[in-house]
Structure 1
Amino acid sequence: MWVYILVGVLALIAGVVLGFFIARKYMMDYLKKNPPINEQMLKMMMMQMGMKPSQKKINQMMSAMNKQQTK
């Protein structure tokens, strides 16, 4: 009787671990294909806020976002 319970618990743990790694891989691939924001989006957002975006400012903001993302 206890063997069935042990097998059920092990199967549940294996399913959770496997599901976690599959979901993690899927999200990493999705974010590579569809980055959250790029230079063009940043430029459009700055223009909508009434700023005149220079390439230097865009590069600074992108590097700051990339540093934040890697932490």
Structure 2
Amino acid sequence: MNLALAITLIIVALILGLVGGFFAARQYMMKYLKDNPPINEQMLRMMMAQMGRKPSEKQVKQMMAQMNRVQEKPGKLK
């Protein structure tokens, strides 16, 4: 009886650890990406310059706002 209880507790602890670890890692990555976005204004300017465009400040702000909107609602792409 004790062996079955021990095995059951080990399996339950393993499952709880996996679920808890998944959600903790997910929360960490979401916070990291919010604090350190993959593309910033300087990178956007550099990309547009490489494409042969000289973006105005208004264009850069519009594109950053659009990317932030998409990042806020990842399930709803228009």
- What TM-score range do you get, normalising by the shorter chain? 0.7 to 0.9
**CA offsets 1:45-66 (integer angstroms, 9 cap, x no match):** 1001111111111111111101
The residue that corresponds to 1:6 in the other structure is 8
- Normalised by the length of structure 1, the TM-score is 0.82
% identity of equivalent residues: 60
**Which of 21-30 and 56-65 deviates more?**
21-30
Q: Which runs of 4+ in 1 moved over 6 A?
A: none
Alignment TM-score, normalising by the size of structure 2: 0.76
Task: Tell me the residue number matched to 1:20.
Answer: 22
DSSP 3-state at the match of 1:52: coil
**More relative contact order in 1 or in 2 (CA 8 Å, sep 6+)?**
1
Superposition CA RMSD, Å = 1.5
**Which of the two has greater helix per residue?**
1
Structure 1's unaligned 5+ residue stretches are: none
